[in-house]
Structure 1
Amino acid sequence: MKTSLFTIALLSLALSLPFPSFSQRCNKKDEKNLLRIKKSFGNPDALQTWTKDSDCCSWYSVQCDEYTDRISALTIYSGNISGRIPEAIGNLPYLETIILRKLTNLTGQIPATITKLTHLKTLTISWTNLSGPIPSFLGQIKSLTSLDLSFNSFTGTIPPELSMLPKLKTLHLDRNKLTGSVPESFGNFTGKVPAIYLSHNLLNGTVPESLAHANFTWLDLSRNRLEGNLSVFFGTNKTIKAANFSRNMFEFNFSNMDQFPASLSALDLNHNRIYGSLPGTLTGLKLQTWNVSYNKLCGEIPAGGNLQKYDNTAYFHNKCLCGSPLPAC
């Protein structure tokens, strides 16, 4: 009986004490700014886990660095999130990754406070309704390795300051409403020339001759209104691997382009105004993607290499091109 009374007394004492709080990893300043971001987005259901009742390192779309316990990544995919990107996003100083994707109700422009993020490596704002010009201040984020602003409604010209990003490896500006030409500065990147994707815009004008100084690896200029001679991108001293120049207004004599780097494995030139004949040096390339249809080419298709690997759709609708896989000359 005494033992039972003692046990009951211990239980009563334990129940009278306050329960210990959950282990808090997340920095309080980071938590405060995340809650500001949630409020700016209209407290959406997609961010319902963002409450003070739990550690913000465990919140949906949030990641903390395992060593510093500071917010290192903010990745929000889809969800009924509306409004503008809040300025508070620039108050998360340890952010390395920002991904805001498939948020069709996200509008406005990129806030200038983002330049305070000196550790930011990946910036992806894609499939949103952001509009206006791409801000030149993005060139100040020297830590960026990947910049993806594709599938938005950005207008205006491409800021030349983007060439000042020394660590940039990938640049996606495709699927916007950008105008003007490719910047002269893209021939003089501060660091290694990144893979560049500018397709599905309203770019026009002649490709700058300065681009001959750059050594591109991946380049997509397709579905624009660009003109000029593409020989600036090729030569035995280049290392370009894949290039898509289709559906533009390029007009030049292909016969004069007889030097290609051995690295070239994908070349798409369809729907342009290219004339002349196909150079025989193309047979020395291991082309995995190849299309010259809808141009003004003439003469016999060189035999050899991978040129006969493709069916007639890679060659048809030219002025007088002939030979396998087209009818004999």
Structure 2
Amino acid sequence: MKILPVLLCFLFISTFISPALSGRCNPQDKKVLLKIKKALGNPYLLASWDPKTACCDWYCLECHPDTHRVISLTLFTDNELTGKIPAEVGDLPYLETLLFRHLPNLNGTIPPAIAKLKNLKTLWLSWTNLSGPVPEFITQLKNLTYLNLSFNNLTGSIPSSLSTLPNLEALRLDRNKLTGSIPESFGRFPSRSLYLFFLSHNKLSGTIPASLANMDFNTIDLSRNMLEGDPSVLFGKNKTTFDIDLSRNMFQFDLSKLQFPKSLARLDLNHNKITGSIPARLTELDLQFMNVSYNRLCGKIPVGGRLQSFDYSTFFHNRCLCGAPLDSCK
């Protein structure tokens, strides 16, 4: 039903709109918004964008309560919206949030005009048909805290210059077709702490940069790439990491030598070339999920903690693991 995307858009944004905004609208922003609507083929999602009404009353927008300038543009969940991201989005100078999500017919590359949005804090372009590289010009957005370019068709290598973003707290480049290695510079993000670091489901290769030992990620997902070597620098007893997913790569290291954060609750290492035994230190953690299947582990599974609460699929297809929940050791 056509009404669904519009309703979702309204529900997403209505909680932010003050009744005091009714009837208010910056004339220049209004002109730009109407150009964006036209460039996108006048989709039903933007049916409320009527030139006879005030733009701060339109769906999918948020205006500042004092200046009445548009600070948020959020378009999502519409199979009929087609075309490219209009260059005119760069002419909304006070924009803090730009979101295009679940728009499968949105295509083309990420337009350079986005670099003009110096107040932008959230850039979220996901579940679209966008292609081309991850643009270098994103590094001009110095106020950016959240960058999500996941579930697209982006290609090429990851720009090392992304590490110069001074306020970045979340980076999602997962579910693309990115190649090359993880930049060494990613161990030098100014914040030293990203709560989201997602590079999974790409075609990345090489080893984990040693510089990442400097970072304290909350959630790391590097799964389903072609990464190799020893990722031990991602671990550490003094870190505060909650979730680590390194599954379906070619990592090769001794699991028994790892130091684990006390905060670790989810650990997925399945389908690698990991050797050694399962360390007793894991019994000290409040693990909610664990998977070390399809590796080269040996020895007895330590008793204690939550290790015996997992079923056999957590541990199976290893060289010689034994003990509950697998068969008893002989």
Query: Does TM, normalized by the shorter one, top 0.5?
Result: yes
For 2:75 and 2:150, how far apart are their aligned partners in 1? 16
For 2:216 and 2:145, how far apart are their aligned partners in 1? 18
Equivalent residues in 2 for 1:289-300, closer than 5 Å: 289-300=289-300
Partner of 2:84: 84
> How big is the shift at 1:192?
3.4
Partner of 2:32: 33
Is residue 62 from structure 1 mapped to residue 53 from structure 2 by the alignment? no
For 1:28 and 1:118, how far apart are their aligned partners in 2? 20
Which whole-Å deviations, capped at 9, do the CAs of 1:104-126 have from their partners, x for residues lacking one?
Answer: 11111111121121211111111
Partner of 1:185: 185
SS of residue in 1 equivalent to 2:99: strand
Which residue identity lines up with residue 216 of structure 2 in the other structure? N
- Kindly report the root-mean-square deviation, in angstroms, between the aligned alpha carbons of the 2 structures: 1.2
Partner of 2:7: none
For 2:47 and 2:183, how far apart are their aligned partners in 1? 43
> How big is the shift at 1:24?
4.1
Instruction: Check conservation: 1:166, 1:192, Cα contact below 8 A.
Output: no
Over alpha carbons, which structure has the higher Rg? 1
Instruction: Check conservation: 2:118, 2:140, Cα contact below 8 A.
Output: no
SS of residue in 2 equivalent to 1:272: coil
- Unaligned stretches of 5+ residues in structure 1: 1-22
For 1:310 and 1:196, how far apart are their aligned partners in 2? 26
Equivalent residues in 2 for 1:15-164, closer than 5 Å: 24-79=23-78, 80-164=80-164
Of 36-45 and 120-129, the range deviating more from structure 2: 36-45
Give runs of ≥4 in structure 1 deviating > 4 Å. none
> How big is the shift at 1:25?
1.0
Partner of 2:209: 208
Instruction: Check conservation: 1:168, 1:192, Cα contact below 8 A.
Output: no
> How big is the shift at 1:210?
1.3
Which whole-Å deviations, capped at 9, do the CAs of 1:259-283 have from their partners, x for residues lacking one?
Answer: 2121111111011110111112111
Partner of 1:10: none
- Alignment TM-score, normalising by the size of structure 2: 0.90
For 1:323 and 1:45, how far apart are their aligned partners in 2? 60
Is residue 304 from structure 1 mapped to residue 290 from structure 2 by the alignment? no
Percent identical among aligned pairs is 56
- Unaligned stretches of 5+ residues in structure 2: 1-21
For 2:270 and 2:276, how far apart are their aligned partners in 1? 14
> How big is the shift at 1:65?
1.1
Which residue identity lines up with residue 55 of structure 1 in the other structure? A
Partner of 1:221: 222
SS of residue in 1 equivalent to 2:273: coil
For 2:219 and 2:77, how far apart are their aligned partners in 1? 29
- Alignment TM-score, normalising by the size of structure 1: 0.90
SS of residue in 1 equivalent to 2:232: helix
Partner of 1:12: none
Which whole-Å deviations, capped at 9, do the CAs of 1:154-190 have from their partners, x for residues lacking one?
Answer: 0111111211122211111111111111111111101
Instruction: Check conservation: 1:85, 1:106, Cα contact below 8 A.
Output: yes
For 2:88 and 2:59, how far apart are their aligned partners in 1? 18
